[in-house]
Structure 1
Amino acid sequence: MDTSPDPRLENARALLESGAFSLPELAAEVGLSPAYLQKRFKQAYGLSPAEYAGQRRLMRLKQRLRETEDVTQAWVDSGFGSCSRVYENGAAKLGMSPAQYRKGGRGLKIHWTVTDTALGNALVAATARGICAVALADSQDALLAELRREFPEAELNHVPDDDGAIAPTVRAVADALAGKAAALPLELVGTAFQHRVWQALMRIPAGETFSYAELAQVLDMPKAARAVARACAGNKVAVLVPCHRIVRGDGSLGGYRWGLPRKQTLLARERMR
């Protein structure tokens, strides 16, 4: 099964890694029509060219905010054209202002709750701007510890899962974890290689499994199985980015960040469908 992207799409992705292009400019560079490029790029990578470029800028912004005290320089280095664009585009994805992210969420109020889902306890956390964390664990203490590691300086406000401030988000996450259709935007922030691996994971059909080596073959990187495994381990979005569909080369389940029983349940449910 050859599901590797068209070389022209790979060229377009590489160009987006290196600079800013409008859709017509990008299409002209790779020799495709804008409409065809838009459709095929999204099929291959799960994002439109503009969304992919936005994710890359956001990744660079988050990295630079951790590295420098100069927030303005972080904007410039990340490819945002102005302060207003950071707040219009970047802050909506970060769920907070750039300065707050750099400071571990200092001055930020995060509403969080633990709710019962088809996969057990799930922590859902959101700011006034949107979702900033989703995690699975057996205990509320473990879930809260993970949230604190990500936002050590934020004010964490525990609310009931039916609280009006967070209830719609909780319902959408619970539906997604139960395998139902849910309108839930994803923020996939990582290196370019991690992003490719995560997008490839999302193209694995439900009920099927790949080994790390097979996924590396799909990515046309047959010697990168270990790097693929590391990228899968770095996935922070349970189920929605389905790393549970990766098994060992001998067919055994291998590990799973959120516990092997959950992996077994997910795979059995998908195969029954």
Structure 2
Amino acid sequence: MTGLAPADRPAPARIAADDLRRLAAHIDQVLAEGGRPSVASLAAAIGLPAGEFRRRLEATIGIGPRALLTGRQIAHLRERLLAGDEVTDALYAAGYGSSSRLYERGQAALGMTPGAYRRGGAGVAIGWTTVASPLGLLLVATTAHGVCAVYLGDDEATLRDALEAEFPRATLSRGVARQEWVEAAVAVASGQAGEDVPLDLQGTAFQQRVWRALRSIPRGQTRTYAELATMIGQPTAIRAAARACATNKVSLLVPCHRVVGSNASLTGYRWGMERKRRLIEMERQSSGGLP
């Protein structure tokens, strides 16, 4: 025999919570000094060989070292821009070596140029539309980069006001960038599998990890908030994970409705417990999923 089949191989060990905190502190320190840590230095910070570090990190939080580092950089970039730093100063404080690198990576993650983000989204064009769904009226809003908001409600005026309150400095207009993005949201609102569409969803590195974990929960299944915190490698961060669910602007496409209380109770859904109950029920019926 040449070895175990992939399905028979033991899963990689996970990185302990203390080591994750040590890793984050190392990244923050290097970024604060104007550098960008290498994968080897990340592994060394918690005493692992580079290959083993990569495997354990992916098993623990579902992303590799470069994605983790990019997330921390974007979080630093946001903090510095919102604190009022000039773009050039924020660039170097976040560990970007050139303005071209900043705009190449920063715009993709922020969904807008860093300067526009610093101004609270001023000048960003957001198109929106409403459409009927089994859960009521659905508002879908998009930028040129992807879906930035999905709301559920009973009347268009209320949903439009909520969008304006969420993005007070953006230019809002009726009409979306891509109709298939709307269709994906309607599919999920019907309990079906929607197409994977691009999202323009802003948040901290922690929030992004929670939202990524939410998207990995299979349709027709649920997880508790404790299980969600464990999925991102921070089993004690239950309340923080719940807050990240509450700040998710892209309902349905980032399925925070699939998270329930410790006793499987339906708690904490912005659009109402009845919608959450119906949505979970429709997903289970269409997918054959189990609680």
Alpha-carbon shift at residue 259 of structure 1 (Å): 2.0
Corresponding position of 1:260: 273
Q: CA RMSD in A?
A: 3.6
Corresponding position of 1:124: 140
Looking at CA atoms only, which structure, 1 or 2, has the larger radius of gyration? 2
Among residues 86, 93, 99, which one is paired with 2:115 in the alignment? 99
Corresponding position of 1:170: 182
TM-score for both structures, normalised by structure 1: 0.76
Counterparts in 2 of 1:118 and 1:56: CA distance versus 1, 3 Å: farther
SS at 1:180's partner residue? Answer: coil
SS at 2:130's partner residue? Answer: strand
Q: What does residue range 1-273 of structure 1 map to in structure 2 within 5 Å?
A: 5-7=14-16, 10=20, 14=24, 15-16=26-27, 18-19=29-30, 20-23=36-39, 25-27=41-43, 30-34=47-51, 38=54, 41-68=57-84, 70-117=86-133, 119-128=135-144, 130-131=145-146, 133-138=148-153, 139-159=155-175, 165-175=177-187, 177=189, 178-186=191-199, 189-216=202-229, 219=233, 221-222=235-236, 224-272=237-285, 273=288
Alpha-carbon shift at residue 33 of structure 1 (Å): 4.9
Counterparts in 2 of 1:83 and 1:115: CA distance versus 1, 3 Å: farther
Give the unaligned 5+ runs of structure 2.
1-10, 31-35
Identity %: 40
Counterparts in 2 of 1:43 and 1:202: CA distance versus 1, 3 Å: farther
Structure with the larger RCO, 1 or 2 (CA within 8 Å, 6+ apart): 2
**Cα deviation 1:181-227 (Å, max 9, x = unaligned):** 523244564445444544444454444434434545665544x5444
Count of residue correspondences: 265
Using the alignment, how far apart are the partners of 2:163 and 2:38 within structure 1?
37
Using the alignment, how far apart are the partners of 1:93 and 1:112 within structure 2?
21
Give the unaligned 5+ runs of structure 1.
none
TM-score for both structures, normalised by structure 2: 0.72
Q: CA contact under 8 A between 1:123 and 1:143: conserved in structure 2? A: yes
Using the alignment, how far apart are the partners of 2:54 and 2:68 within structure 1?
11
**Cα deviation 1:57-101 (Å, max 9, x = unaligned):** 223322322220522222222332222122211112322222222
SS at 2:264's partner residue? Answer: coil
